Amino acid sequence: MTGPMTSRSTVQHAATKLPPAASNGLIRGTVKTLMTATEAGVETDAGESVLARQAASCLLAPAIGDRVLLCMIGSETYVLAVLERESQHAAEISVPGARKVTISAGETLELSAPSMNLAARQLTLLARNMAHAGQILTSNFKTIVETVIDKTIGARSLTTKADVRTAVITEVETLNAGTLVQNIDTVATQNSEIALVTAQRDVRLDAERVSVG
C-alpha cells in the first residue's frame, strides 16, 4: 500500500479502536490510516471504524483519503476496489502476497507515458525481433559483452575514445576510406610476414632519417 506508515504505538492504539466488522455486505468508506502493507483503517459511510485488508483482486493499493468499496464477511473485512482517489496520490499496482506477477496478451501489450522508469536487480529481454528508435541513447555500464553473428553500423560520424584498444581479427580485415590519416604520438610499429605498399602514382617517405634493412 502507498502512503506513510504509522508508528507502532499508533497502530496498536488504532487497532484497539478498529474491531472487525460483524455484519455482511458491501459498503463504502474512506481510508484513514495505513496499518501495514496490506491493512488499512477505514471509516465507513455509517461512521464505523473497521480494519480492512486489501483483497487480492484489488490491484490498486489503497492510499490515505481513498474512497473504497468494502466487503464484510463475518469478522473479515476486505477492500475490494478503490472507487475514488485524490489526484496528488500516485497509483501503485500490487497483488497482496504475490511473489510473481504475469501480464500476458494474445496479440499486443502497450505501455505509454511521457516518462517511464524501470528498476530491477536483474532484467532479461527476449524477443525474436527488436527495434528501438529515438533521438538520444545513453548507456552507462561497468562491463558490456556482445555476441553477434553479423553486425552493421551506419553513422554520419563515429568516435571511439579509450585508454587501451585491442582488436583481434582471425581472418581478414578490410578498410575502405576516401582518405586515411593516422597521427601517432610516439611509435608506430607493424609486424607481418609479407608487407606490400602499392600506389598508383607516388610513394613518399619524409623523415630526418630513413633506415631500410
Residue 8: per-residue pLDDT: 40
Residue labelled with grid coordinates 477505514: 42
Domain spans, the chain: 8-84
Q: What pLDDT, on a 0 to 100 scale, did the predictor assign at position 167?
A: 92
Higher-confidence residue: 143 or 18?
143
- Read off the pLDDT of residues 19-60 as tens digits, 9 standing for 90 and up: 444 456 899 999 999 998 889 999 999 999 999 999 988 988
The values of phi and psi at residue 102, to 5°, are -120, 130
Task: Give me the pLDDT at residue 96, please.
Answer: 82
> What average pLDDT does this structure show over 140-166?
93
pLDDT class of 172 with cuts at 50, 70, 90: very high
Tens digit of pLDDT for each residue in 178-196?
999 999 999 999 999 999 9
The predicted structure's pLDDT at residue 168: 93
Superfamily of domain 8-84: Nucleic acid-binding proteins (2.40.50.140)
Which of these ranges, 8-22, 124-138, 188-202, has the smallest mean pLDDT? Answer: 8-22
Rounded CA-CA distance 88/76 in Å is: 30
Q: Which residues contact 188 (CB under 8 A, 6 or more apart)?
A: 182
What value does the mean pLDDT take over residues 5-26? 49
* Ramachandran sector of residue 169 (left: φ over 0; alpha: ψ -120 to 50; beta: rest): beta
What pTM value is reported for the model?
A: 0.59
pLDDT in tens, 86-97: 888 788 888 888
User: Could you tell me if 132 and 139 are in contact, meaning their C-beta atoms sit under 8 angstroms apart?
Assistant: no
Beta-strand pair 25-34/76-84: unpaired
pLDDT at 9 over 80: no
Task: Decide which of 18 and 137 is more confident.
Answer: 137
Q: pLDDT tier at 155 (50, 70, 90 boundaries)?
A: very high
Grid cell for residue 32 = 484513514
